[in-house]
Amino acid sequence: MQRIQGPSGVGHGSIMENMITVQMMILILGSLDKILLQGLSFLRGLSVGVQGAVIAKRSLQDGDRKILAGLNLRMLLYSTLLKRNLKIH
């Protein structure tokens, strides 16, 4: 196959070679897109995970507060019951 001289004097390859290069470029770009998409989904997953961890921590703190409040109420109830029992006897 003969080379066709381009306007800049650089020899362009045959149509077949050009087609192969275009296909290679498409393949490379396609794989890059896949890698980028995977990276983006990974980052999205990370941010969701971080948000989930923050929410979980917040709910754990709320749970701790509620448990402490419940314990305090229980202690109050027990102490009042004890005082009443002691007063009765």
Higher pLDDT, 12 or 50: 50
pLDDT at 7: 53
CA 74 – CA 52 distance, rounded (Å):
32
The model carries a pTM of 0.35
At residue 76 the predicted structure's pLDDT band, cuts being 50, 70 and 90, is confident
Paired with 89 in beta bridges are none
Residue type (1 letter), 37: L
At residue 14 the predicted structure's pLDDT band, cuts being 50, 70 and 90, is confident
At residue 84 the predicted structure's pLDDT band, cuts being 50, 70 and 90, is confident
| Cβ–Cβ under 8 Å, residues 37 and 30 | no
pLDDT at 10: 53
The ranges assigned to domains in the chain are: 4-88
